């Protein structure tokens, strides 16, 4: 499975990943035309300063055992068994914010314009390389092939691949 | 990563074969990731609270600057810098003309006919040619140095009448050109102007100063010094380089500096020096706009000027042929990357103007009183280089270019070619044989599809639709190297344009030469408009700087907008972060000057839109 | 292996999925009182008229089919026969099992109020049938009284208000949502509700439901003596686990069915999960019911895995978290809402729509409320749940993000 790895030590804080994300999810798809002032919503990734004031790019992990999926009351969130991606069906989303409450990393948020549904990283659906990875000039955000067997093992006693209720 | 490609296939093949040479073409892929904030013009580095960038979570700078303010400031700064470049060129040219007039230089004046005309039309006067030269130069310099609240005096005489009136009423008449640049810097500094509209109007004033002085006046002065253009057929492309000669490549925009080589290289001393070095003689290898300028006036130096090789982004490749022995630069389009190739190919560099000082070049500060000594040093350097390097480098000049490029077109030569009036051209347009005119101008860049890809693709499509193309700038280098400025290109034009071209023996793309000749295009347009008795925005004419590269192009563009023309760009000028600025430049401005910007990165849709503008303007004229 | 699952909501269906992950061939049977599969959390949406009942299904249409499970809807388990490992249903049928999961959920708790069982228009908001009944009664006018200003009560109130029903909330505490929010955050909602025409009476309780001769509800009488006319009452005073089928069995119960960390009850091969059970809660470290959706899903999953033979514990059992949104104002809260005594530091910040509050003890977060701007809330939740030092205090608390705790495993997973 392809995953986005983050190397904060390479991050220059340029936020180009955010511009790229915004562009990808804007009507034109163009970095020239994406409304950076918020008219096209917010990027789904972020660059935040850590306690030492160093920039850290952050984006959804598509967890092995996604807490957002566990918390979803409508079935809008699901883990795709084929790709391992955590997908969000905006049409089913009720805007209950259980996912926002549950993601320990803060990677799913209310959509900034309508504020009716949640939005999260969709791995640039169908795109070979996610835009943020493509836009990162330093390699701080990069793609890596990750084996599904070496899961996200925060559970003592080991958990198998979790696909949510979908 | 795939290397950048050119519309020029021979160039592609040549670069592919020279894998040991790194050029700009190689550096495009590793620079493919662009900063989105820079692209949209919403990164502000004006103070230490920054750099501030606009995002949905940070919609204003720390100081409170809106994206509109940021974009307008960045835009005005860029236009000011571009204007400054052209004003530097005209200043040097005027100083040289003045010094020649004062008898401080042995250079002759080869265009005294024009000098006499201008002494009358601009009312600068003078008893003889020398005094006329001094007077004209001093009047130009005086205007450049006026404070900003003093309007430049020659504007009224240089500008097309209806435009001057509109500018006067709109408060767009520029004060002293250098002061306009100066105050643009003041205006855009930290926590000064926040008014996007005022800054855009300032850009238009800079555009006017650029166009009438930086472009048009530079052309006139160079015509006076080096001789007026004459229509002729010339060779263009790398093929003009003959390895048997000591080849001095020139890059820049100032024929008033580089031109000193023209006669010097023909002297008996030069012949001896070349022979002693083992060469057949000296040749000037034209490159970038100064080469275009020399090509335009090559009738006055046919023996020593080998021809024009190409534009800004062919310079590295030209050095890589190994046949260049010295690079003389006096202005921009002298890429830093050329230095590496020069080192590799053992080519020394000389700069004549410290504004374009290259790191590994020797600076020979230009002085019009010392032209012989300077030319002598250049010759010496070139001959020594030839003798030293030729045994150590491989020379490989590809078979490239065309030997039947029509050159030497200008506001006057075109008119004369048509029989002394634009009436025949207007008749052809009225009859629909020529649908309209597209001025394809400006630079070349490597991002609008690749090197000259958009320029060449768009031009092909324009002529196919019976729109005649006039070119000025690096676009000329692009279009002549792919054959579009040779008469045979008529075959690529639409049926009616083709017929016109064949009957006149001209290509469908007319070569006005360097970017400075955008000034000539303006005069041509004004002449046509005058003949029709209309203002410029009424003409079925559009201007496109599809592959604009640099700040100078933005100053040119501002001139085009002040003229009321529809200006196409394939790449946005870093403004899209502001709805207001984008809105004014692409729509609102039409109500002020008649001009507007069309940004379109797709060739077919661009040509559709430009054709629609032309048809619309034809309809406006009742055609 | 024969698996029997009682209940087809979050916990029950989560168990189905988990069992199938580990046991491809076992026989899975699901009984549910519900005749259709739906998300209880979406009932207020249905009541408000924003969603059709059919749109509340939280699993794909073919979920049970795809997981090879038989489902008997509208079938209620009435008695558990531990000896013969069987369950009797109200249909008279008997279902046997090797492993049993009780995920029967909970019912609305009816507080000891006079006439509460007699009144014909007294409802909980727990089942689709409740929604239908409330809708029918609400159509008759004269308003509704909501007994209890907790999440369910406020949900019901907002939904009815949206339908144009005049609503009164009666809450015993000093403000609504007393378990989820502090006074300030609650007041911000109360302000909005009142502007929308709702009446909110706090520090009061209903002592009697007023009925007409046909036992139709005509109003309520409050402890303070005031009477409020209404046509229906929604009882939203909490829930009580559905454990009546365990009568006369050895399955240990408290308020709910007592389970261990593997969701197993005191009787072998019998598991429980979701609202019906009580377990060791992570925040309070106490045995308590944990009636929130994410834990029902998680407990169902853990139960399923263990029923299928694995020995797996849950990720955590953190019940003190809530999310909500009323009239466009969202809120998320975790842990404490007020400092319970000395030794705690409280930090609040309010600007515009946003209100945030953090309660710190010994450098660790014990409570967080985010109202208005809830982006990134989960990080605070994780700090509370995992009892991780916040590494910040004062103003810096308000800007914590996962960047402050960044730790990435080789496969790209984040951990704290």
Give the position of tokens 């709109």: B170
Residues B441-496: pLDDT tens digits?
Answer: 999 999 999 999 999 999 999 999 999 999 999 999 999 999 999 999 999 999 99
Of the candidates A31, A134, A136, which has its C-beta nearest B39's C-beta?
A31
Predicted pLDDT of residue C155: 97
How far is CA C169 from each of CA B483, C42, C163, C178, C326, rounded to the nearest angstrom? 84, 20, 16, 13, 15
Within a domain: C379: yes
Q: Helix, strand or coil for residue B429? A: helix
Percentage of chain B surpassing pLDDT 90? 98
pLDDT band at A148 (very low <50, low <70, confident <90, very high): low
Domain boundary among C237, C256, C282: C237
B213 and B272 both lie in a single domain = no
Domain boundary among B390, B415, B434: B390
Q: Point out the least confidently predicted range of A140-149, B39-48, C257-266.
A: A140-149
B412 and B523 both lie in a single domain = yes
Q: Helix, strand or coil for residue A13? A: coil
Q: Which residues contact B612 (CB under 8 A, 6 or more apart)?
A: none
Within a domain: C115: no
Rounded Cα distance, C327 and C337, in Å: 22
pLDDT at B35 over 50: yes
Query: In this structure, what CATH number is given to the domain that contains residue B358?
Result: 3.40.50.2030
What angle separates helix B112-121 from helix B129-145, to the nearest 10 degrees?
60
Rounded Cα distance, B528 and B415, in Å: 10
Residues B396-427: pLDDT tens digits?
Answer: 999 999 999 999 999 999 999 999 999 999 99
Within a domain: B52: no
Give the position of tokens 């700090």: C383
Secondary structure (DSSP) of B248-287? EEEESS-HHHHTHHHHHTTSHHHHHHHHHHT-S-EEEEE-
Both tokens of A26, joined, read 């804007």
DSSP assignment letter at B174 = -
Residue B93 belongs to what H/E stretch? helix B67-101
Cβ(A50)–Cβ(C406) under 8 Å? yes
Domain boundary among C212, C237, C262: C237
Best CA proximity match to C40, nearest among C66, C27, C58: C58
Residues C53-82: pLDDT tens digits?
Answer: 999 999 999 999 999 999 999 999 999 999
Query: Which of A53, A69, A73 to mutate against chain C (most C CBs within 10 Å)?
Result: A73
Residues of chain A in contact with residue B67, where contact means CB-CB under 8 angstroms, are 36-37
Secondary structure (DSSP) of C63-101? HHHHTTEEEEET--EEEEETTTTEEEETTS-EEE-SEEE
DSSP assignment letter at A144 = E
Give the position of tokens 């500008």: B159
Query: In this structure, what CATH number is given to the domain that contains residue C19?
Result: 3.50.50.60
pLDDT at B3 over 90: no
pLDDT at A166 over 70: no
Q: Helix, strand or coil for residue B325? A: coil
Counting the structural domains of chain B, the total is 3
What does the mean pLDDT of chain C come to? 96
pLDDT band at C179 (very low <50, low <70, confident <90, very high): very high
In B277-344, the DSSP E strands lie at 282-286, 305-308, 326-329
Predicted pLDDT of residue A89: 96
Best CA proximity match to C274, nearest among C335, C336, C317, C322: C317
Of the candidates C313, C406, C409, which has its C-beta nearest A56's C-beta?
C406
Q: Is residue A115 less than 8 Å (CB to CB) from chain C?
A: yes
Cβ(B67)–Cβ(B54) under 8 Å? yes
Phi, psi of B267 (to 5 degrees): -70, 160
B212 and B347 both lie in a single domain = no
Within a domain: B445: yes
Residues B289-347: pLDDT tens digits?
Answer: 999 999 999 999 999 999 999 999 999 999 999 999 999 999 999 999 999 999 999 99
Residues B106-129: pLDDT tens digits?
Answer: 999 999 999 999 999 999 999 999
Within a domain: B383: yes
pLDDT at A163 over 90: no
Percentage of chain B surpassing pLDDT 70? 100
C103 and C171 both lie in a single domain = no
**Full-model pTM:** 0.88
CA distance A29 to chain C (A): 24
Residues C308-341: pLDDT tens digits?
Answer: 999 998 878 999 999 999 999 999 999 999 999 9
B496 and B600 both lie in a single domain = yes
pLDDT band at A149 (very low <50, low <70, confident <90, very high): low
Both tokens of C171, joined, read 């809450």
Cα angle C240-C243-C244, degrees, rounded to a multiple of 5: 110
Q: Is residue B30 less than 8 Å (CB to CB) from chain A?
A: no
C328 and C299 both lie in a single domain = no
As a whole number of Å, the end-to-end CA separation of chain C is: 38
C132 and C233 both lie in a single domain = yes
Sheet holding B402-407, edge to edge: B361-363, B349-351, B326-329, B246-251, B282-286, B305-308, B232-236, B402-407
Cβ(A3)–Cβ(C412) under 8 Å? yes
Paired with C240 in beta bridges are C107
Predicted pLDDT of residue C313: 87
Residues of chain B in contact with residue A133, where contact means CB-CB under 8 angstroms, are none
Secondary structure (DSSP) of B343-386? HHTT--EEESSGGG--TTEEE----GGGHHHHHHHHHHHHHHHH
Question: Whole domain around residue B301: which residue ranges?
Answer: 238-390
Best CA proximity match to B571, nearest among B593, B552, B549: B549
B76 and B163 both lie in a single domain = yes
* Burial per residue of B571-605, b for 16 or more beta-carbon CB atoms within 10 angstroms, e otherwise: bbbbbbbbebbbebbbeebbebbbbbbbbbbebee
Rounded Cα distance, C21 and C307, in Å: 12
Q: Is residue C151 less than 8 Å (CB to CB) from chain A?
A: no
Residues B60-70: pLDDT tens digits?
Answer: 999 999 999 99
pLDDT at C141 over 80: no
C230 and C379 both lie in a single domain = no
Q: Cβ of A19 and B42 within 8 Å?
A: no
Within a domain: B35: no
pLDDT at A126 over 90: no
Cβ(C199)–Cβ(C176) under 8 Å? no
pLDDT band at A165 (very low <50, low <70, confident <90, very high): very low
C276 and C299 both lie in a single domain = yes
Q: Cβ of B54 and A36 within 8 Å?
A: yes
Give the position of tokens 């030293």: B388
Predicted pLDDT of residue A155: 34
Which domains are assigned to chain A? 1-59+121-149 (3.30.70.20), 62-104 (3.30.70.20)
Predicted pLDDT of residue C13: 98
Secondary structure (DSSP) of B198-226? HHHHHHHHHHHHIIIIIIIIHHHHHHHHH
Mean of the pLDDT values across residues B15-39? Answer: 91
C299 and C350 both lie in a single domain = no
Question: Do strands C329-335 and C364-371 pair parallel, antiparallel, or not at all (unpaired)?
Answer: antiparallel
Residues B215-244: pLDDT tens digits?
Answer: 999 999 999 999 999 999 999 999 999 999
Rounded Cα distance, A111 and A90, in Å: 10
Counting the structural domains of chain C, the total is 3
Predicted pLDDT of residue A146: 85
Of the candidates C294, C391, C412, which has its C-beta nearest A51's C-beta?
C391
Domain boundary among B219, B253, B281: B219
Give the position of tokens 């999925």: C17
Within a domain: C148: yes
Domain boundary among C307, C334, C355: C307
B461 and B369 both lie in a single domain = no
Best CA proximity match to C14, nearest among C259, C316, C318, C263: C263
What does the mean pLDDT of chain B come to? 97
Rounded Cα distance, B142 and B136, in Å: 10
pLDDT band at B19 (very low <50, low <70, confident <90, very high): confident
C159 and C216 both lie in a single domain = yes
C229 and C132 both lie in a single domain = yes
B386 and B416 both lie in a single domain = no
B611 and B463 both lie in a single domain = yes
Q: Which residues contact C76 (CB under 8 A, 6 or more apart)?
A: C31, C33, C89, C90
Rounded Cα distance, B110 and B112, in Å: 6
Q: Cβ of A110 and C330 within 8 Å?
A: yes
Best CA proximity match to B593, nearest among B545, B558, B552: B558
Cβ(B444)–Cβ(B549) under 8 Å? yes
CA dihedral B203, B209, B211, B215 (to 10 degrees): -130
Interface of C with A in 37-66 (CB under 8 A): 39, 41-42, 45, 51, 56-60, 63
Paired with B441 in beta bridges are B472
Residues C357-395: pLDDT tens digits?
Answer: 999 999 999 999 999 999 999 999 999 999 999 998 888
Query: In this structure, what CATH number is given to the domain that contains residue C394?
Result: 3.30.390.30
Question: Whole domain around residue C30: which residue ranges?
Answer: 2-107+240-307
- Counting one residue from chain A and one from chain C, the pairs whose CB atoms sit within 8 A come to 177
Burial classification of residue C311, based on how many CB atoms lie within 10 Å of its CB (0-12 exposed, 13-18 middle, 19 or more buried):
exposed
Cβ(B286)–Cβ(B274) under 8 Å? no
Both tokens of C318, joined, read 């953190």
As a three-state string, the secondary structure of C314-344 is CCCCCCCEEEEEECCEEEEEEECCCCCCCCE
Cβ(C262)–Cβ(C311) under 8 Å? yes
Within a domain: B5: no
Predicted pLDDT of residue A164: 39
Best CA proximity match to C359, nearest among C339, C342, C332, C379: C339
Within a domain: B395: no
How far is CA B175 from each of CA A38, B41, B61, B485, B522, rounded to the nearest angstrom? 40, 27, 32, 39, 21
Question: Do strands C329-335 and C344-351 pair parallel, antiparallel, or not at all (unpaired)?
Answer: unpaired
Q: Which residues contact B168 (CB under 8 A, 6 or more apart)?
A: none
B602 and B488 both lie in a single domain = yes
Predicted pLDDT of residue C330: 98
Predicted pLDDT of residue B382: 98
C99 and C144 both lie in a single domain = no
C302 and C340 both lie in a single domain = no
**Would you list which residues of chain A are within 8 Å, Cβ to Cβ, of chain B?**
14-16, 18-20, 22-23, 31-34, 36-38, 41-43, 112, 134-137
Cβ(C224)–Cβ(C56) under 8 Å? no
Secondary structure (DSSP) of C4-49? EEE--SHHHHHHHHHHHHH-SS-EEEEEES-SS---GGGHHHHHTT
C41 and C101 both lie in a single domain = yes
Within a domain: C312: no
Rounded Cα distance, B95 and B145, in Å: 13
Domain boundary among B390, B421, B442: B390
B269 and B204 both lie in a single domain = no
Q: Which residues contact C283 (CB under 8 A, 6 or more apart)?
A: C318, C319, C320, C335, C384, C385
Q: Which residues contact A89 (CB under 8 A, 6 or more apart)?
A: A75, A76, A77, A78
* Residues annotated within a binding site of B for [4Fe-4S] cluster: 35, 43-44, 47, 52, 63
B213 and B360 both lie in a single domain = no
B297 and B361 both lie in a single domain = yes
Rounded Cα distance, C35 and A113, in Å: 38
pLDDT at C190 over 50: yes
C15 and C102 both lie in a single domain = yes
Q: Which residues contact C262 (CB under 8 A, 6 or more apart)?
A: C271, C302, C303, C306, C311, C312, C313
Best CA proximity match to C39, nearest among C249, C292, C208: C292
Best CA proximity match to B580, nearest among B135, B198, B108, B172: B198
């Amino acid at each position: 499975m392809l995953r986005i790895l983050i190397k904060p030590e390479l991050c220059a804080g340029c936020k180009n990943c955010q511009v790229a994300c915004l562009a990808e999810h804007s009507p034109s798809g163009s970095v020239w035309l994406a409304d950076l002032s918020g008219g096209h919503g917010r990027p789904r990734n972020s660059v935040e300063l850590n306690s030492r004031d160093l920039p850290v790019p952050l984006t959804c992990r598509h967890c092995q055992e996604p807490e957002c999926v566990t918390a979803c009351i409508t079935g809008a969130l699901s883990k795709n068994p084929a790709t391992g991606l955590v997908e969000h069906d905006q049409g089913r989303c009720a805007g209950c914010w259980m996912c926002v409450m549950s993601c320990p990393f803060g990677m799913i948020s209310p959509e900034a314009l309508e504020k009716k549904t949640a939005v999260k990283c969709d791995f640039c659906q169908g795109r070979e390389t996610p835009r943020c990875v493509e836009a990162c000039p330093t390699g701080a955000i990069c793609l890596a092939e990750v084996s599904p067997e070496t899961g996200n093992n925060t559970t003592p006693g080991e958990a198998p691949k979790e696909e949510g209720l979908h | 990563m795939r290397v950048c490609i050119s519309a020029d296939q021979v160039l592609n093949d040549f670069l592919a074969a020279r894998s040991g040479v790194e050029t700009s073409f190689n550096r495009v892929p590793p620079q493919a990731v662009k900063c989105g904030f820079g692209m949209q013009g919403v990164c502000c580095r004006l103070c230490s609270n920054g750099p501030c960038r606009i995002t949905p979570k940070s919609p204003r700078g720390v100081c409170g600057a809106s994206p509109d303010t940021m974009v307008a400031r960045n835009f005005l700064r860029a236009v000011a810098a571009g204007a400054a470049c052209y004003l530097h060129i005209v200043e040097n040219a005027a100083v040289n003309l003045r010094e020649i007039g004062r008898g401080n230089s042995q250079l002759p004046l080869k265009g005294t006919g024009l000098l006499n005309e201008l002494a009358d039309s601009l009312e600068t006067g003078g008893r003889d040619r020398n005094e006329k030269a001094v007077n004209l130069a001093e009047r130009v310099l005086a205007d450049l140095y006026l404070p900003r609240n003093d309007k430049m005096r020659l504007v009224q005489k240089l500008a097309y009448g209806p435009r001057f009136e509109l500018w006067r009423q709109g408060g767009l008449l520029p004060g002293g050109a250098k002061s306009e640049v100066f105050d643009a810097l003041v205006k855009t500094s930290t926590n000064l102007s926040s008014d996007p509209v005022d800054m855009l109007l300032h850009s238009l004033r800079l555009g006017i100063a650029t166009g009438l002085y930086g472009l048009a006046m530079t052309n006139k002065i160079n015509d006076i010094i080096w001789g007026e253009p004459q229509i002729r057929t010339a060779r263009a492309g790398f093929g003009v380089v003959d390895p048997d000669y000591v080849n001095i490549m020139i890059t820049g925009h100032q024929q008033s500096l580089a031109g000193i080589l023209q006669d010097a290289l023909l002297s008996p001393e030069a012949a001896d020096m070349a022979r002693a070095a083992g060469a057949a003689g000296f040749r000037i290898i034209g490159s970038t706009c100064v080469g275009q300028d020399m090509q335009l006036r090559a009738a006055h130096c046919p023996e020593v000027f080998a021809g024009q090789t190409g534009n800004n982004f062919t310079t590295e490749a030209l050095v890589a042929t190994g046949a260049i022995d010295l690079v003389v630069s006096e202005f921009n389009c002298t890429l830093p990357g050329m230095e590496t190739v020069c080192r590799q190919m053992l080519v020394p560099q000389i700069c004549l103007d410290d504004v374009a000082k290259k790191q590994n070049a020797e600076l020979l500060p230009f002085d019009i009183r010392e032209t012989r000594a300077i030319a002598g040093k250049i010759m010496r350097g070139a001959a020594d280089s030839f003798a030293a390097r030729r045994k150590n480098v491989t020379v490989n000049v590809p078979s490239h270019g065309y030997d039947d490029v029509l050159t030497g077109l200008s506001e006057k030569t075109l008119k004369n070619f048509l029989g002394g009036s634009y009436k025949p051209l207007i008749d052809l347009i009225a009859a629909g044989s020529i649908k309209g005119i597209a001025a394809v101008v400006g630079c070349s860049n490597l991002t609008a599809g690749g090197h000259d890809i958009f320029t060449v693709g768009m031009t092909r499509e324009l002529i196919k639709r019976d729109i005649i193309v006039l070119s000025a700038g690096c676009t000329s280098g692009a279009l002549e190297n792919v054959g579009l400025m040779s008469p045979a290109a008529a075959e690529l034009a639409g049926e009616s344009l083709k017929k016109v071209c064949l009957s006149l023996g001209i290509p469908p793309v007319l070569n006005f030469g360097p970017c400075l000749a955008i000034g000539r295009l303006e005069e041509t347009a004004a002449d046509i408009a005058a003949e029709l008795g209309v203002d410029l925005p009424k003409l079925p004419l559009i201007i496109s700087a599809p592959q604009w590269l640099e700040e100078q192009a933005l100053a040119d563009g501002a001139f085009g907008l002040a003229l009321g023309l529809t200006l196409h760009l394939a790449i946005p000028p870093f403004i899209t972060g502001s709805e207001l600025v984008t809105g004014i430049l692409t729509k609102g401005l039409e109500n002020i000057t008649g001009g507007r910007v069309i940004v379109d990165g797709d060739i077919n849709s661009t040509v559709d839109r430009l054709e629609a503008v032309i048809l619309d303007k034809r309809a406006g004229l009742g055609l | 292996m024969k698996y029997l699952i009682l209940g087809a909501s979050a916990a029950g269906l989560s168990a189905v999925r988990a069992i199938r992950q580990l046991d491809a061939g076992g026989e899975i049977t699901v009984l549910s009182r519900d005749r259709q599969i739906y998300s209880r959390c979406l009932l207020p949406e249905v009541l408000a008229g924003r969603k059709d009942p059919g749109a509340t299904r939280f699993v794909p249409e073919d979920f049970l089919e795809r997981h090879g499970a038989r489902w008997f809807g509208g079938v209620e388990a009435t008695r558990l026969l531990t000896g013969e490992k069987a369950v009797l249903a109200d249909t008279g049928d008997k279902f046997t099992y090797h492993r049993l999961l009780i995920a029967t959920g909970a019912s609305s708790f009816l507080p000891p109020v006079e006439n509460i069982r007699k009144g014909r228009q007294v409802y909980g908001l727990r089942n689709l049938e409740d929604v239908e009944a409330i809708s029918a009664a609400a159509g008759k006018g004269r308003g509704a009284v909501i007994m209890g200003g907790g999440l369910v009560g406020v949900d019901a109130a907002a939904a009815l208000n949206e339908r144009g029903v005049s609503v009164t909330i009666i809450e015993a505490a000093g403000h609504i949502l007393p378990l989820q929010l502090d006074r300030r955050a609650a007041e911000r909602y109360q302000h909005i509700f009142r502007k929308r025409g709702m009446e909110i009476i706090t520090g009061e309780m209903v002592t009697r439901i007023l009925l007409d001769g046909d036992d139709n509800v005509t109003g309520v009488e409050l402890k303070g003596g005031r009477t409020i006319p209404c046509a229906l009452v929604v009882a939203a005073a909490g829930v009580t686990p559905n454990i009546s089928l365990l009568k006369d069995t050895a399955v240990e119960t408290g308020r709910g069915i007592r389970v261990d960390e593997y969701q197993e009850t005191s009787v072998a091969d019998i598991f429980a999960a979701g609202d019906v059970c009580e377990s060791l809660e992570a925040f309070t470290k106490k045995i308590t019911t944990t009636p929130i959706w994410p834990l029902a899903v998680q407990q169902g999953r853990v139960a399923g895995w263990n029923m299928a033979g694995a020995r797996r514990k849950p990720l955590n059992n953190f019940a003190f978290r809530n999310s909500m949104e009323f009239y466009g104002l969202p809120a998320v809260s975790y842990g404490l809402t007020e400092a319970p005594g000395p030794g705690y530091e409280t930090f609040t910040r309010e600007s515009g729509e946003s209100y945030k509050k953090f309660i710190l003890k010994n450098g660790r977060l014990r409570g967080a409320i985010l109202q208005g701007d809830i982006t990134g809330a989960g990080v605070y939740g994780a700090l509370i749940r995992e009892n991780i030092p916040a590494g910040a205090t004062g103003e810096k608390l308000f800007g914590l993000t996962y960047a402050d705790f960044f730790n990435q495993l080789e496969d790209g997973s984040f951990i704290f």
